[in-house]
Amino acid sequence: MPLLELRGVTRRFGDFVAVDNVSLSIEQGEFFTLLGPSGCGKTTLLRMIAGFDAPDGGTILFDGRDLLGVPPEKRNLHTVFQSYALFPHMSVAQNIAFPLRMAGAAADAIRQRTAAALEQVRLAGLGARFPAELSGGQRQRVAVARALINRPRLLLLDEPLAALDAKLRESMQAELIGLQREVGVTFVYVTHDQSEALALSHRIAVMNRGRVEQLGAPAAIYAFPRNRFVADFIGECNLLPAELRAMAAGDIQLEVRGVGEVHATHGEQLAAGARGVLALRPEQVQISSGRLPEDSRNAFGGTVEQLLYRGDVTVYTIALAGGARIQALLPNSGGGRAASFAVGASIQVGWRADAGHFLPD
């Protein structure tokens, strides 16, 4: 039995459908992420799970029990809020002890468990401080410790790293993964940051306009985006308008506007003439001044129009002979090889047949 199950959950605000018939199952111990742009309904969904909002339709089952009518304070799950919502008039230790006091724990147990929790999030010795005296990262850790102290079955995290700077965010990501493994609590994590979602999650639900566009493991979603929105939202992607010419055993022939005939893959059977886009990750595109590798079934001539040197990689914008522009991303590991293509140079670009995916409209 899944720990949390959403069945056809819908929430409307007037004419606006914030959450549209969402069904999900989240297993015990999972790190599950709701990913999507702002306004996609992920926070509304989270608030309904926490109990601050109620669905207009559908059911939310927690541990097999319907949560309808159960107020937030009676749900065995806690939330880490985006603003952390630490109580400013309470010390760090009092903040962390709050759920225990609400549950009526004994003073001795509160002291011991608060000390242990402070230790766990590396805040030992800061228990007497007040939230205003902490750094952003420390506040975030207090919020997590407070939400975890009475061992909820489920932890909801609403963009908990959004307020931190990039460097700190990365180290907090690693910390969250470690913490989740250590305590074994199921995490439902809301973010609009696709790289964060890819790095942290066991599974991701990509949401857009109140619907789940795709559900799966990070690698699967990245490698096989199911539609144009997911391809565009997760990572960088070349999206080129295309029409299906022929299909045989997973290998398909496309007519791509501004490129020419391209071999790509698609899982399902489609009729010739179907329109859509070719999705091609920039790192799958190879560049050569001479011959391309043997496995490049697709090869085209072009010129380097622009390059962005990013340190670890270089991003090339290439104008193909047919008129289309594509981006290629080359790692700068091969002794400066990537830098050897100058702007204006005539080159060959190519990619394997299974690098491109046809996404019908």
Give the binding site for another protein (CB under 8 A): 50-52, 71-73, 78-79, 81, 83, 85-89, 98-99, 102-103, 146-147, 150
In whole angstroms, how close is the CB of 145 to another protein at the nearest point?
Answer: 12
Q: Which is nearer to another protein, 103 or 272 (CB)?
A: 103
In whole angstroms, how close is the CB of 99 to another protein at the nearest point?
Answer: 4
Distance between CA 311 and CA 340 in Å, rounded?
14
What's the token pair of residue 356? 């491109």
In whole angstroms, how close is the CB of 105 to another protein at the nearest point?
Answer: 11
99: amino acid identity, one letter:
P
In whole angstroms, how close is the CB of 154 to another protein at the nearest point?
Answer: 12
What's the token pair of residue 242? 């295309």
Determine the straight-line distance between the first and last CA of the chain, rounded to whole angstroms. 36
Q: Which is nearer to another protein, 50 or 242 (CB)?
A: 50
Distance between CA 331 and CA 134 in Å, rounded?
39
What's the token pair of residue 186? 């199921």
Q: Which is nearer to another protein, 85 or 313 (CB)?
A: 85
Strands (E), 38-181: 57-62, 65-66, 77-80, 154-158
In whole angstroms, how close is the CB of 78 to another protein at the nearest point?
Answer: 6
Q: Which is nearer to another protein, 83 or 340 (CB)?
A: 83
Structural element, H or E, at residue 109:
helix 107-120
Distance between CA 20 and CA 90 in Å, rounded?
40
144: amino acid identity, one letter:
V
Q: Which is nearer to another protein, 96 or 252 (CB)?
A: 96
Q: Which is nearer to another protein, 123 or 198 (CB)?
A: 123
In whole angstroms, how close is the CB of 100 to another protein at the nearest point?
Answer: 9
Q: Which is nearer to another protein, 150 or 191 (CB)?
A: 150
Q: Which is nearer to another protein, 190 or 338 (CB)?
A: 190
Structural element, H or E, at residue 262:
strand 260-265
Angle at 117 (CA atoms; ends 112, 122), nearest 5 degrees: 130
Q: What is the largest CA-CA distance in the chain?
A: 76
Report H helices in 31-106.
42-50, 92-102
In whole angstroms, how close is the CB of 257 to another protein at the nearest point?
Answer: 49
336 Cβ neighbours under 8 A, 6+ residues apart: none
Contact 46, 156 (CB under 8 A): yes
Could you tell me which of 225, 246, 238 has the C-alpha nearest to residue 324? 238
In whole angstroms, how close is the CB of 60 to another protein at the nearest point?
Answer: 15
